[in-house]
């Protein structure tokens, strides 16, 4: 069975947590596509490489790095994700993963709009910038006001880029997690998948 769940949304909205929970609940494979861009960004910075070359040479070891969840990696990801040639280098990998046997959940910024517009289920997970910045601050620490500024800067870059801007697909279910518990958000996502599975 081929069944794709596309989960998009801005940083720290909860899409990764929801995606992992949905994948576990239905026995689907999970791909955090943001990790691909984080790995490319970190690889390019650390090795002094051209981001396009880093994307074309991406390997499983790059995705296993322990520094992909830092604020710096997130900023690097957002920068390289705005490069059309980087996006193109990673599209085929994501599409093949999405149509694998046994079902797949992909989370990112453009899964429902660009990578898998034919996905059986599309969710757009969001929350206010303030709520997302607080969550990210709890995760990484530092100055909370600076984290909020970075979240807003990243939102602007992701939403206004020319290639595959961050936005909900027209047929996506929008889940605002600002005032939802993670359990409630996961339950709503699972309900959407269950309905499509019949």
Residues making up the annotated binding site for ATP are 9-17
For residue 167, what are the CA distances in angstroms to 7, 23, 98? 11, 23, 20
For residue 91, give the H/E element and its range: helix 84-98
How far is CA 186 from its chain centroid?
16
Q: How far apart are CA 170 and CA 112, in angstroms?
A: 9
27: alpha, beta or left? (left if phi > 0; alpha if psi -120 to 50): left
CA angle, corner 177, sides to 186 and 149, nearest 5? 135
Binding-site residues from annotation: 9-17
Q: How far apart are CA 183 and CA 110, in angstroms?
A: 25
**How is residue 66 annotated by DSSP?**
T
């Amino acid at each position: 069975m081929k069944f794709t769940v596309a989960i998009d949304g801005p940083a720290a909205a909860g899409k990764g947590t929801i995606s992992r929970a949905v994948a576990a609940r239905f026995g689907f494979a999970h791909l955090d596509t943001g990790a691909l861009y984080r790995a490319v960004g970190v690889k390019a910075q650390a090795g002094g490489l051209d981001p396009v070359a880093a994307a074309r040479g991406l390997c499983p070891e790059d995705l296993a790095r322990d520094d992909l969840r830092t604020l710096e990696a997130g900023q690097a990801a957002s920068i390289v994700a705005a490069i059309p040639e980087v996006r193109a280098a990673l599209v085929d990998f994501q599409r093949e993963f999405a149509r694998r046997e046994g079902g797949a959940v992909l989370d990112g910024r453009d899964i429902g709009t660009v990578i898998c517009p034919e996905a059986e289920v599309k969710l757009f997970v969001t929350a206010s910038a303030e709520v997302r910045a607080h969550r990210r601050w709890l995760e990484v620490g530092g100055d909370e006001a600076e984290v909020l500024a970075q979240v807003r800067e990243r939102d602007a870059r992701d939403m206004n880029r020319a290639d595959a801007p961050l936005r909900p697909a027209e047929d996506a279910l929008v889940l605002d997690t600002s005032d939802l518990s993670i359990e409630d958000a996961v339950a709503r996502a699972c309900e959407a998948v269950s309905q499509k599975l019949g």
